Amino acid sequence: MRILGIDPGLNITGYGVVEVERDRCVYIRHGVFRTKPAQARLDRLLYLRDEVRAIAVECGATAGAIEAGFVGQNMRAAMALGEARAAALLGMADAGLQVAEYAPALVKQTVSGYGRGEKSQVAEMVRLQLGLKAVPTPADAADALAVAITHWAHARLGAL
Amino acid sequence: MRILGIDPGLNITGYGVVEVERDRCVYIRHGVFRTKPAQARLDRLLYLRDEVRAIAVECGATAGAIEAGFVGQNMRAAMALGEARAAALLGMADAGLQVAEYAPALVKQTVSGYGRGEKSQVAEMVRLQLGLKAVPTPADAADALAVAITHWAHARLGAL
C-alpha cells in the first residue's frame, strides 16, 4: 500500500507519500503546492485539485488520507479551508483513491504519543518514525507525512 | 448567453438557469441537489460536483455564477459551505464555464432593489423578474435564479 497524505490549505497544501512494507512505513516523498491570494478563487481550487490528482498518479498512491477537522481562526478562514479540502478530496477521488479522514488531534496523538503536540514536535516525530536525516519542511509537508503515517497505523490496527 | 446560477450548500445546493435574449432574461429551469449527512463527505462532494457539471452540460450553459460569501453560523458550517462551494465551482469549471462570484448582499440588492432582503422577498422578486406564475421553490433554487439574474444584470452593465 502506498499512502498519499494531505494537509490541505488554500495558500499552501502539504503532501507526503509513504510506502507500507510489511510492518514498516517507508518514506517516499513530500512537498507542498502553493497558490496566491491574487489568483481567482476557482483557479486556485483547480490548481490544487489537479496537482493533488497528478501527485497521486505520479507516485502510484493506492490510498489517500487527509486532515478532517479545522483549527479555529475565523469564519472566512474556515470556509477557505473547506474549499481547499474539497479540492484535495476530489483530486484524490479523481485519481481513484479511497480516502480516509483523520482529526488533527488524532494525527498528533498517533505520531507523537499524545495530543496537542507542537508543530515542531510532530515534524521531529515524523523524522524519527521515517528514519530521515533532517526534519521534513515546511510544516505543512511534515503534517501531510504525519497524516499518511496515521493512516498506516490505523490500517495496521484494523488488519490485526 | 445561458447562465447557470448556483446557491451552494452541503445539504442542499440550488441551481437556476436563465437565457439572455437581447435585454430580456428568460427562465429556463431551476431545482436542487441534496446530499445526506449520513453519506461520506467525499461522496457528497463528488455527487455535488458531478451533478453541477451535468446540469451545466445538459442545459447548454455558457456562463456560471455563484454566491461568494457566507452567512455567519459557525466554523463547522463555514467549512462545510466552503467544501460545497468548491465542489460546485469545480463542476462548473469542468463543464467549461467561466464563473463569476457575487456576494449575497449584492445578489439581494440586484433582484430586490436594496440589500438585506428577506428570503421570501428575493423569491417574489425572482418570480416577477422572470414572469413566473408561482414563486420558485425551494428557497435555495430561488436564490440560485437570483444569482443567475445578478450575473445577467452585471454583464449587461459591463456591455454598455
Between B49, B72, B78, which is nearest A82 by CB? Answer: B78
Q: Under a CB-based contact definition with an 8 Å cutoff, are residues B128 and B22 in contact? A: no
According to the model, what pLDDT value does residue B69 have?
74
- Distance from the Cα of A81 to chain B's closest Cα (Å) equals 6
Compute the average pLDDT of residues B92-102: 96
> According to the model, what pLDDT value does residue A74 have?
84
Q: Which residues contact A35 (CB under 8 A, 6 or more apart)?
A: A10, A11, A43, A44, A47, A48
Q: Bigger pLDDT: A145 or A21?
A: A145
Residue partners of B142: CB distance under 8 A and separation at least 6: B14, B16, B30, B119, B122, B123, B126, B135, B136
Q: How distant is the Cα of B55 from the closest Cα of chain A, in angstroms?
A: 19
At A159, list the grid cell: 488488519
Which residues lie below 8 Å from residue A58, measured CB to CB, with a gap of 6+?
none
All domains in chain B, ordered by first residue: 2-159 (3.30.420.10)
Q: How far is A52 from chain B (nearest CA, A)?
A: 14
Which residues make Cβ contacts (< 8 Å) with residue A28, sequence separation at least 6? A2, A17, A18, A19, A59
pTM of the model: 0.90
Q: What percent of chain A has pLDDT over 90?
A: 75
Average pLDDT over chain B, rounded to whole?
Answer: 91
| Residue with grid cell 450548500, as numbered in its chain | B9
Is A94 one of the annotated active-site residues of the chain? Answer: no
Residue A67, strand partner residues: A102
pLDDT in tens, B77-91: 899 999 999 999 999
Nearest to B90 among A49, A76, A101 (CB): A49
Mutation choice for A interface testing from B10, B13, B83, B101 by most A CBs within 10 A:
B83
B75 at A interface, C-beta within 8 A: yes
| A116 vs B98, more confident | B98
- Alpha carbon dihedral B89, B91, B93, B99, in 10-degree steps, equals -40
**Residue B109: per-residue pLDDT:** 86
Give the closest of B46, B78, B87 to A79, CB-based: B78
The string of DSSP codes covering A80-135 is HHHHHHHHHHHHHHHTT-EEEEE-HHHHHHHHHSSSS--HHHHHHHHHHHHT-SS-
Name the phi and psi angles at B73, rounded to 5: -130, -75
Q: Do B78 and A78 touch (CB under 8 A)?
A: yes
- Which of A4, A10, A85 is the best substitution to test chain B (most B C-beta atoms within 10 A)? A85
CB contact under 8 A, B42 and A89: yes
Confidence of residue B119 (pLDDT cuts 50, 70, 90): low
pLDDT single digits (tens) B1-19: 999 999 999 999 999 999 9
B41 touches chain A (CB under 8 A): yes
Task: Fill in the DSSP letter of residue B69.
Answer: S
User: What would the pLDDT profile of A67-113 be if each residue is shown by its tens digit?
Assistant: 987 666 788 889 999 999 999 999 999 999 999 999 988 898 888 86
Question: Is a pLDDT exceeding 60 seen at residue B114?
Answer: no
Q: What angle do CA B34, B39, B41 make, to 5 degrees?
A: 90
- CB of B103 within 8 Å of any CB in chain A? no
Residue A121 and residue A143 in contact, taking contact as beta carbons nearer than 8 Å: no
Distance from CA of B47 to the nearest CA of A (A): 10
What integer pLDDT is reported at residue B21 of this predicted model? Answer: 87
Residue B72 has pLDDT above 90, yes or no: no
Cα A113 to Cα A75, A104, A134, distances in angstroms: 31, 13, 20
Known catalytic residue at A7: yes
Q: Count Cβ–Cβ pairs < 8 Å, chain A vs chain B.
A: 81
Q: What is the ipTM of this complex?
A: 0.86
